A and B are shown apart, each in its own frame.
Chain A
Amino acid sequence: MIDIAGVIKRYGSTAALDRFSARIERGEVFGLVGPNGAGKTTLIKVLATLTNPDGGRVTIAGHDVVTDAPRVRALVGYVPDVPGVYQDMRVEEFLDFFADAFHLRGPRRRAAVERALERAGLGPRRADFVEQLSLGLKQRLVLAKSLLHEPEVALLDEPGTGLDPLARIALRDLLKSLARDGVTVVISSHILSDLEDICDRVALIGAGTNVRDAEGQSVLVVRGERETTQSYEIEVLGDAEAAAGAVDRFSGARSLSRQGQRLLVTLAGGPEQAAALLRHLVGGGVLVTRFDPRGPDLEQRFKRAFGGEAT
């Protein structure tokens, strides 16, 4: 669906993108993660046809973002990091203007506006001026606006920035529903837990280029891994080394690391495996004081790949 091949973008002598490559499949939710200034926003702007690359090639559904920009725009919905809105327009007018700008006419336009109002949960506030909306609602309005023309690709640049937890949850649910509808989503975010929750794969980007993690991977499979493996944090009393040995002997254990009395274990399989391991440890005389499932360790992998840099 999206093919990014060695894309280069320079601002003066600074390379914002330096031969970054990725391939994103149709219907995939693809995350971009990297420190500030890594080139995430520039890459999304290239995909949105807002800026032309200086080298490499980017295509969306086979259309080149430089030479076939109007076709690409028809396929893409773009949500910038700061929601740009016309404060002095009413919510419905705002959506109607952009529906018109996407060449939707007559009943199609009215239907698109109604759909967008419903999607953003702004139906009851259609007559309000945009300036009366909270930041979270403005973000939802901009997202709904970018989906008016039913794009095949949604590009979201830091969509969770500045949102309160409830607004972030609502945004995450909206993105999940998009993914269920088969929309390809490309999202950059500082909030790794959000990416973990909704992305199928996440690309590591640093200094405008692909960054590899400790296992040598530049694109991490998040969802696939989450479905087949699960990490657990175990705390024990007494001989932690003996406990680590017991875990090591457990056949379902994929990986094991130990920090003092804490063990971090990755198990292949579902909760039955976790129950079996707990039974195995207790049966072996290990004093278990805590046994907690952990989310996929994107944060750990991010720290390892970027040397502990914060996003």
Chain B
Amino acid sequence: MNPMIRKELRQRMRERRAWILPSLYLIVLGSVVTLAYFTMLSASRAWWGNEPQGADVGTTLFVSVAYTQLAVLLIIAPVFSAGAITIEKEQRTLAALLTSLLSTREIWWGKFVAALLFQIFLLISAVPVLALAFAFGGVGWRELGIATLTTLVVAASLSAVGLISSAYFRRTIHATAVTYAVVIILTAVTGIAAFWLSGDHRERIPIPLHLNRIFTMSEGLFGRQQNLIRWGISLAAFLALGLASAVAAIAVMRRGGEQI
């Protein structure tokens, strides 16, 4: 096992946020499920005058949880990744890592896996909440797979973006701010740019939209065959962004001794 992964996990699980974050995460998801359930119930009674079908309830709960997970995890991702390398600079331990026999790739990989594993831990902790949707029906393994894969790929990609910021900047606060700026650009700005670029040709999907996580999730969940291809392209775009960030971060870390 990469010693960096072992060290990172050990340190991470000793932090207070190791139990605070999952607790908050589950409280948010639980609240969203409750809100979605009662909203659906009252809307169904008000508009159609009857109780909603179980499958409709299941679908509503699942979609609410899937989008909330995507949103919350992307708020959390920069907290872990953007500070991962700057913390080594701030506590003056980066020199010790760079002069050990660990390669910069191993250091990067250790930081990346540790950041991602915690997010996977959050995803797994939310399984009981998702299971509620399964209990109502209307949702299958296909939807679960698409939602999980989309969330994982987007979280991994943005963790890699956080790590390049962390490798480049000396201070955690700067790295975190830049990473959040990228998250905002990839969400709001791509959406606005896509709307602007598409003009009168609504059937054409503008390129920036492929890096919009909400678009990616929607194409996967509500798609026909054509949408699934777009979903695949979108995932590939996020993977390319993550890969480019990884290559850049490793290159910056190779010159990391200059920052010490």
Contact = CB atoms under 8 A, between A and B. Distances in A.
A101 B258 contact: no
Given A84-B92, A88-B14, A48 B99 contact: yes
Nearest to A72: B99
A146 B103 CA distance: 17
B45 interface: no
B94 A84 contact: yes
Contacts of B7: 86, 89, 97
Interface string A36-56: 000000000100111100000
A158 interface: no
Nearest to A81: B92
A278 to B, nearest CB: 52
B17 interface: no
B225 interface: no
B101 interface: yes
Contact of B99 (A49, A85, A86, A88): A49
Given A73-B100, A97-B6, A80 B257 contact: no
Interface in B92-107: 92-103
A194 to B, nearest CB: 22
Contacts, number: 72
B97 to A, nearest CB: 7
A80 B99 CA distance: 11
A78 B6 contact: no
B226 interface: no
A98 B98 CA distance: 11
Given A51-B257, A51-B258, A101-B102, A145 B14 contact: no
Given A78-B95, A82-B92, A145-B96, A88 B101 contact: no
A93 B3 CA distance: 11
B91 A74 contact: no
B14 A101 contact: no
Contacts of A101: 3-4, 97, 100-102
Interface in A194-233: none
A84 B99 contact: no
A85 B11 CA distance: 13
Nearest to A102: B101
B260 interface: yes
Interface in A52-102: 70, 73-74, 76, 78, 80, 82-89, 93, 97-98, 100-102
B11 A88 contact: yes
From B95, B102, B103, residue with most partner A Cβ within 10 Å: B95
Contacts of A85: 91, 93
A46 to B, nearest CB: 9
Nearest to A11: B258
Nearest to B94: A84
9 contacts: A48-B99, A49-B257, A73-B100, A73-B101, A83-B92, A84-B92, A87-B91, A97-B6, A100-B3
